[in-house]
Structure 1
C-alpha cells in the first residue's frame, strides 16, 4: 500500500499494518470479526490508532476488503495465466473454476462461510458494494478466460457463478460438511451439459 498524502513513513507503515490485520480478520472470520479492538490487538497498535487513521469502521472495512479482493484476484490471475490451453475434463475445469471463484486454499466449510459473509456484508455496509462489485467483475473476467481456454466458452459465467454460490450456500446452511465438494460436483455437472446451451 502507498502512504497517504500528509502521512509520515512511520504513520503509513502503521496504517498498512492496521489494514493488513483487518484483512486477515476478514479472510479468516468475515467482516463481522473486524472491530477496532480486534484489529488493534492483531496489528499490535494502540486502540486509538484505528480511529486516527480511519474515519470509522466502514472506512477500515473498505480498505481491508479491498486488500483481500486485490490479493485474491492477483492469485487467481496467476493461476489462470499458468493454465495450458486446450480442452480439459469437466472435473478439471470445475476444480479450476472453484479455485478462481472461491480461492484455491479455501477448502473447509468455515473458510467458505467467512468468504460468503464478506459478500453478504455489502447489505449491512453499503460502502463495501463498489469494492465487491469490482472484485466480482475481475473474477468474472478470469472465469471467462478459464472457460474459453478449457473449451467451455458457451457456458454463461453468470449462470455458473449463481449455481456455485447457491450450491455452496445451501450446503453451508444444511451443515452437513463438504460444501466445496458439493459445489464442485454441481459445477462439473453443469459443464458436462454444455451442448444444451
Structure 2
C-alpha cells in the first residue's frame, strides 16, 4: 500500500531537516532524534519512514546533493565563455567542488565529512559517487568555458580535495585559499589553453 499524501509530506520534511543538519554539521549531526526534532515530528516517525540511520542519511545526502548541484549548475550555465587566468579558473573550480558559499574551515570540514561517512555507512556511497560524477562534469564545463586545458580532471579535483584536507589538519583558516592556489599552479603549469568552443 502506498504512502498517503500526509505521510509523503512528513517523510519529505524529515529528509529536508536531515539534509540541513548534514549541511551544517556533517553526517554525524544526524540521528533519528535530531532529525525528528528539526522536522517537528515525533521520534517514532523517523523509524517508521526509514529502515535505519543509513537509509535516512542516504535520502538526506541525495536531497542535499541535488540542492547544491542545482545551484552550481545554474552558476556554471550563466558563465560567459571567455579565456580566464589560471587563478580565476581555480576560483571557479572551487565554487563547483565545494560551493560558492563554503569558505570557512568549519564549512569545509562539514562538507568533506559527508564523503568520509562512506566508511561508516556504505549505503550512502552510491549517492555520493553520483554527486561527484555530476560535480566532475561541471568542473569540466568550467574549464571548457574558461579556455583552459591540460591537467586530467581527476588529478585536478584530487589536488583540490587533498590540499583542503591537508590544510584543515595544519590550520589555521586558509584551507580554501590554499586549495585554490594549488589548483591555480596546476592550471598554470599544465593547463595549455585551447580554443574556446562556440556558445551552445
- What TM-score, normalized by structure 1, do the two folds share? 0.94
Deviation digits for residues 167-190 of structure 1 (CA, Å, limit 9, x no counterpart): 000010112111111111111111
Contact (CA 8 Å) 2:58, 2:127: kept in 1 or not? yes
Does the alignment pair 1:183 with 2:172?
A: no
Q: Which residue of 1 aligns with 2:2?
A: 6
Instruction: List structure 1 runs of 4+ shifted beyond 3 angstroms.
Output: none
Residues 30-179 of structure 1 mapped to structure 2, 5 A cutoff: 30-179=26-175
CA RMSD of aligned residues (A): 1.4
How far did 1:73 drift?
1.1
Deviation digits for residues 90-142 of structure 1 (CA, Å, limit 9, x no counterpart): 12111110000000010110000000000110111100110111111000011
How far did 1:195 drift?
5.3
| Aligned mates of 2:178, 2:126 — CA distance in 1 | 30
Distance 1:47 1:190, change over 3 A: same
Contact (CA 8 Å) 1:152, 1:194: kept in 2 or not? no
Number of matched pairs: 193
- What TM-score, normalized by structure 2, do the two folds share? 0.93
| Aligned mates of 1:102, 1:165 — CA distance in 2 | 9
| Aligned mates of 2:92, 2:155 — CA distance in 1 | 16
* Structure 2 unaligned spans of 5+: 193-200
What's the secondary structure of 1:105's corresponding residue? Answer: coil
How far did 1:29 drift?
0.5
What's the secondary structure of 1:65's corresponding residue? Answer: helix
